[in-house]
Structure 1
Amino acid sequence: MSLLRRRWLLPVALLTFVACSERKSTPTEPASPPAQAPDSATAAQPKPAPPAPADTSDVQDVAAYLAGLPVKQASALRPLSARPEWQRFAADADESWTNYHSTRTEKIEAWARQELDSVRRTSPVVFYPFSGPDLLNAVTVFPQSDAYVLIGLEPVGTVPGQASLESPKLYNAVKTSLWSVLNFSFFRTNSMAVDLKSLELDGSLPLILLFAARTNHQVTDVKYVRLSPEGQLIPADSADAKSKLVPGVEVDMRNADGHEQKVYYFSADLSDWKLGQTKASILQYARSLGPLTTYVKSATYLMHKSYFSQVRNLILERSRYVLQDDSGIAMKYFKPSDWQFIHYGTYRRPIPMFAKHYQPALTAAYQDSVNKARPLPFGTGYNWRVNDSNLMLAKRLTGPSS
Structure 2
Amino acid sequence: MKIAAVLAALLLMPAFSARGESVSANDTARFLAGMPPSAESPLTALTREPAWQRHARFFDGAFAQLEARQLAKIRSWAAANLAAPRPTMFYMFSGPDFLYADAFYSRATTYVLSALEPVGAVPDLMRLPRGGIGGALHHVERALGSILSFSFFITEHMKSDLRAGQLGGTLPILYVFLARSGKTIRDVVPVTLDEQGALLAQATGTGKNLTQGVRITFTGDDGVERTLYYFSTDLSSSGVKHSGFLKFCETLAPGNSLLKSASYLLHSGNFTSVRTFLLNNSATIIQDDSGIPLGNFDASKWRFFAFGRYAGPIEKFPGRYQSKYAELFRQGKPIDFGIGYRWRTHETNLLLAVRLSPDGPGGIETAASGERDRPARPHPPRRPHYVEPRGYWFGWPFR
* Fold-level similarity (TM above 0.5): yes
Whichever residue aligns with residue 174 of structure 1, its letter is: V
Whichever residue aligns with residue 238 of structure 2, its letter is: W
Q: Which moved more, 1:294-303 or 1:391-400?
A: 391-400
Q: What is the CA deviation profile of residues 279-307 of structure 1, one whole-angstrom value per residue up to 9, with x for unaligned ones? A: xx111111111211111000000000011
CA drift of 1:356 comes to 0.9
Whichever residue aligns with residue 288 of structure 2, its letter is: D
Q: 1:164, 1:137 → 2: CA distance?
A: 30
The answer to whether the 8 A contact 2:216-2:229 is kept is yes
Q: 2:28, 2:133 → 1: CA distance?
A: 14
The aligned runs of 1:3-402 (5 Å cut-off) are 58-116=24-82, 118=83, 121-161=84-124, 162-164=126-128, 166-240=132-206, 242-278=207-243, 281-367=244-330, 372-399=331-358, 400-401=360-361
SS of the residue aligned with 2:299?
Answer: coil
Whichever residue aligns with residue 352 of structure 2, its letter is: L
The answer to whether the 8 A contact 1:299-1:328 is kept is yes
The answer to whether the 8 A contact 2:23-2:43 is kept is no
CA drift of 1:243 comes to 2.6
Structure 1 stretches of at least 4 aligned residues deviating more than 6 Å after TM superposition? none
The answer to whether the 8 A contact 1:56-1:221 is kept is no
Q: Which has the greater radius of gyration?
A: 2
CA drift of 1:320 comes to 1.1
The answer to whether the 8 A contact 2:109-2:227 is kept is yes
The answer to whether the 8 A contact 2:195-2:209 is kept is yes
SS of the residue aligned with 1:250?
Answer: strand
The answer to whether the 8 A contact 1:56-1:220 is kept is no
Q: 1:114, 1:133 → 2: CA distance?
A: 26
Q: Who is 2:379 aligned against? A: none
Q: 1:159, 1:199 → 2: CA distance?
A: 14
CA drift of 1:397 comes to 1.4
Seen in structure 2, the aligned counterparts of structure 1 residues 217 and 263 have a Cα distance that, compared at 3 Å, is same
Q: Which moved more, 1:100-109 or 1:144-153?
A: 100-109
The answer to whether the 8 A contact 2:23-2:42 is kept is no
CA drift of 1:198 comes to 2.5
Alignment coverage as a number of residue pairs: 338
Which ranges of structure 1 fall in alignment gaps of 5 or more residues? Answer: 1-54
CA RMSD of aligned residues (A): 1.5
- Of all paired residues, the percent bearing the same amino acid is 36
SS of the residue aligned with 1:256?
Answer: coil
The answer to whether the 8 A contact 1:319-1:396 is kept is yes
Whichever residue aligns with residue 184 of structure 2, its letter is: Q
Q: 1:172, 1:88 → 2: CA distance?
A: 10
Q: 1:140, 1:211 → 2: CA distance?
A: 11
Q: 1:322, 1:359 → 2: CA distance?
A: 18
Whichever residue aligns with residue 53 of structure 2, its letter is: Q
CA drift of 1:57 comes to 5.5
Q: Who is 1:42 aligned against? A: none
CA drift of 1:56 comes to 8.2
Q: What is the CA deviation profile of residues 206-244 of structure 1, one whole-angstrom value per residue up to 9, with x for unaligned ones? A: 11111000000000100110001101111101111x331
Whichever residue aligns with residue 381 of structure 1, its letter is: G
Q: 2:197, 2:208 → 1: CA distance?
A: 13
The answer to whether the 8 A contact 2:52-2:133 is kept is no
The answer to whether the 8 A contact 2:189-2:215 is kept is yes
CA drift of 1:350 comes to 0.7
Q: 2:202, 2:103 → 1: CA distance?
A: 29
CA drift of 1:114 comes to 1.2
SS of the residue aligned with 2:317?
Answer: helix
Q: What is the CA deviation profile of residues 248-293 of structure 1, one whole-angstrom value per residue up to 9, with x for unaligned ones? A: 0000000111111110000001111222333xx1111111112111
Which ranges of structure 2 fall in alignment gaps of 5 or more residues? Answer: 1-20, 363-399
The answer to whether the 8 A contact 2:85-2:107 is kept is no
CA drift of 1:144 comes to 1.6
Q: TM-score, normalised by structure 2?
A: 0.82
Seen in structure 2, the aligned counterparts of structure 1 residues 287 and 253 have a Cα distance that, compared at 3 Å, is same
Q: 1:188, 1:174 → 2: CA distance?
A: 15
SS of the residue aligned with 2:51?
Answer: helix
